[in-house]
Structure 1
Amino acid sequence: MPAFTLDPAQTAWCAELRALAADRLGPLAAKGEPGRVNRELLLALGGLGLLERQFTAGALDLCLLRESLAQGCTEAETALALQGLGAYPIVLAGTAGQRARWLPEVGAGRAVAAFALTEPAAGSDAAALALRAVPDGGSGGGDDGWLLTGEKRWISNAPEADFYTVFARTGPAAPEATGSRGITAFLVPADRPGLTGTALDMLAPHPVGALRFDAVPVTRADVLGEVGRGFRVAMGTLNLFRPSVGAFAVGMAQTALDAALAHTATRTAFGGPLKDLQSVAHQVAEVATRIEAARLLVYAAACAYDTGAPDVPARSAMAKLYATETAQFAVDTAVQLHGARALQRGHPLEHLYREVRAPRIYEGASEVQRTIIAKELYRATANPPQAVG
């Protein structure tokens, strides 16, 4: 079988997901309030078993899931992905108690999760985190507890999440801080004293907010993984979800291409259908070619993750970079081919035009992905594989 060709069962599952997204999840998404967590939609995703599947499926299945949902309902895809991103650190590094407490609730759609990494001055440079975890003398010192003080910003599902996976600096404070070392991951329930949040009004109507930590107490029981090794938890989560961000982008790009094909095949101008104009036909061909290349990069990165290949960071970065940039190109081209009608509020392409911009920034901006790719290339050059025999 040629590489990355889907088998009949996978193809049928993707078709089923697209139909579910359009027919069942779309109406629930339409009933939601822009900028707010849609708990009814989450319960539906949980009832279908899709939220829980994120924690048991491989990276390729996750990519197929996100791409298919994105083609039918971007809101459903985003709601699913945010649950996965917020809770996957528990899958990766949580204790048995943490998993038992939260994963069934997240999988059922009853609890809302959030991944709290970004800060006002530490977005793409995640190693520059300033949120401090100061030893809490009242609870017996740093071996037992800390107080979290600082801010997180542009956090999806904030401030409505039921818990946050929070990354804070337990090591030296700036300017003595040593990059990614000394960062610890914590599981912080939303009802902890001192934790407050506000919603942010963003271009795309997703729930995004800012969090304020005013001496929020956490204990060793709240640590995800090891003290001082939280950056590994963050990167382990992002290495899985970056290719699937690419899958989300591919889904949006495919929807834009389908719309462009349908429109240019029937829209008459200059004496015939738009598709007969070479300039139009070549634009459509370029979009289709880039989407196929992006899809293959996403599948390759997912397969590398599933097989434990050593080049996962580079492949994940390539997939996320190329797919999100391609989606922007595809949606913009489709809007251009449709003309003013595509900019009217409520048009599917108008919706995609607002949705497609953010993935080029979150989970590492395109410039960060290029930096990761280059760093991995030079690392491979400095440490070439040894000959066998």
Structure 2
Amino acid sequence: MSEARPGSGEHVLIAEDDPSAARVLRLLLEQAGYRVTIAPDGETALRILDEQGAPDLLLLDWMLPGVSGLEICHLARQRWDALTLPILMVTAKTDPESVYAAFDAGASDYVGKPFRGAELRARIDAHLRTRRLVEERARMEGHLRERDKLFTLGLLAGGVAHDLNNPLAVISAHAQLLLRSAADEESAGQLREIIGGVERCSRIVGDMLNFARRHPTERGPVDAADVARATLRMRERTLAGSGVEVQTELPAELPLAAGDWHQLQQVVLNVIVNAEQALHGRGGTLRVTMSEAAEPAHCVVVEIWNDGPPIPPDVLPHIFDPLFTTKAGDEGTGLGLFICRRIVREHGGWMDVRSDADGTAFVIRLPVYPEPSRT
């Protein structure tokens, strides 16, 4: 990952009561690409810290009216450590005792007045560069922990899923045999509930196995429109029974996509089922459209849209996270959309979602099969 350039929109709060010095500091830092806020006294600086939280860097004049820069430094350091909030003291007090007092209060650096602009910028850049590197390291460590967790989970899921398949098959077979000779409708209904529960368990097992497996995708020419039509036929009765109107726009002249027919059907089916659940009990519209796009690469674009309730903004960034689900415990594993995005990425494609008051759309981009014709 490339490192952000110095001054790439980072926020510097400057507490400086001298208007001329404040103007010079603002000009110096804004020319370097920083966002600058000026506090003309200590009380204003503390209010900004309380209301807005820590800036990326705090630059303090020692001799401020009311609350001094030294007091602000001490109070800020009680709330944020030096890596979270670098603090630079800029002051004419350059005697050793003052320097010691500033560092003792928690200052990260100390610049005497009059200062050189190039030196001040270099010191600010250095502190923020260190801060960015620490943040990047924390993100990388988080990614590594997540990868290890998913790897372990995949191994466990694969083993558990294989072990569950046999007893589930036995339960289902016996329930179906008993259903044929059920004494009354009440018994038949209970047996159908057992069979339905087994089918739900089987779907969960299938999700777990798909989560655990990683294998190369066998790519060939695929008519994405055929995939969509076949999948909609599978769900036709359920959609109609739920009062969902299905609209399609599947142009015949679309190029063939490169991929695995069955894996792509799994993706389309999962998204359609999610749409059914979003529209459950209220009816609505499910629209499947396809188009061709040349940018950023030649691809077939599949959009599956429904006019159900929007996905909440705090949920939307996590919609493809493994094990994340907002469904009831027996309705989802939190793996479906994660697996879908993984399949699309393994095809060399891209999958995303957008959601607002008008509805929710899953957008899938699939690379075009590199052949000149549809023979």
Same fold (TM over 0.5): no
**Greater helix share, 1 or 2?**
1
Task: Say which structure is richer in strand.
Answer: 2
Per the normalisation by structure 1, the TM-score is: 0.23
Structure number with bigger Rg = 2
TM-score, L = length of structure 2: 0.24
